[in-house]
Amino acid sequence: MYNIEVPDDELYKKLDTPFNKDFVKISLKNDPTKFCVMPQSFVDLDLERIKNMEIFEDDVWVVTYPKCGTTWTQEMVWMIGHNLDYKTSLEVLLDDRYPFLELQGIVPSYPKNMFDECVNMPRPRYIKSHLPAFLLPDQLWTVKPKIVYTARNPKDTAVSYFHHYHNMNGYQGTIGDFIKTFVNDVMMYAPMNNHVIDFWNIRSQPNILFLFYEDMKRNLKQEVRKVMKFLDKDYSQDEIDKLCSHLSFDSIKSNKMINKENDIKHLMSIAGREYNPEKFTFIRKGKVGGYKQELTRESIEMLDKYIKKAEFDIEYHF
């Protein structure tokens, strides 16, 4: 089913970090245009068991390319699906309520077996993944549980991904070098264009809800109502107002059940870095258009060409 290729490219080697290295290119044998860059550890631990995973109709999945508002979307979807259960939300880590399917495959030292956590969750299961459509479980496309997909403009995504990869993974390169790996589709989970296009093309299916990060920033109440309708939930305006306050940027950033502070400490210790919340937090700035303050004209032009190359009808709301 898959070709596993070890790329002979210096750009890949620049991405090696203390716990993400030995990158490979996974592609479909019958369609090499469908490919994804992942560490060898993912192939060894997760590739086949995820592909053959049993799926249930009442599952609720959140799928995104990394750094596209995943955590924010998870909390929104979980709260709406669980009748606005603030008590549990404030007492139980989001990663325990909405586990990350392939985490062990990309961080083998992670203390929990996240695949088993997902498989053994009480139903209805809420599951998160960054995998592209072709690497997700086969049964996802036949059983057809609800899937919420969130997209974000590639410029802000790339900048956010750089800060994540630098601080949490121990990446030593510059942001300019990182942008080069991003637009050349050698970054982990690359290519972003294909990742988004595959879900955009199936957005009309009744079990798919396609959201934009930028829309969530501009009109959160509108997006909350979309998710409510998608999950067959009905809440009053006062309840929606309270939920949007709970989902505000400042609230999410300071909420220790959501902001992944423990994960940051664990991963940064492996990467040989000292955790300092004054310098880096998982939920960083969350701005639309923040790339303008961080990227050179050259990097912006490279990303513009990358976006244009996609040739699809998504408005990224620059």
Contact 22, 82 (CB under 8 A): no
Is 266 marked active-site?
no
Strands 23-28 and 31-39: antiparallel
Contact 39, 61 (CB under 8 A): no
Return the percent helix, strand and coil in the chain, to nearest 5.
45, 15, 40
- Residue 26 CA to residue 132 CA, distance in Å, equals 11
**Which are the contacts of 132, defined by CB distance < 8 A and separation ≥ 6?**
34, 36, 189, 194, 195, 198
- Name the nearest CA neighbour of 137 among 67, 34, 42, 56: 56
Omega before residue 124 within 30° of 0, cis: yes
- Residue 118 CA to residue 192 CA, distance in Å, equals 25
| 151 beta partners | 212
Contact 216, 72 (CB under 8 A): yes
Distances (CA, A) of 262 to 89, 256, 276: 16, 8, 12
User: Catalytic one among 82, 130, 163, 166?
Assistant: 130
Contact 56, 139 (CB under 8 A): no
Tokens 């053959």 belong to which residue?
Answer: 52
Name the residues annotated as catalytic.
130
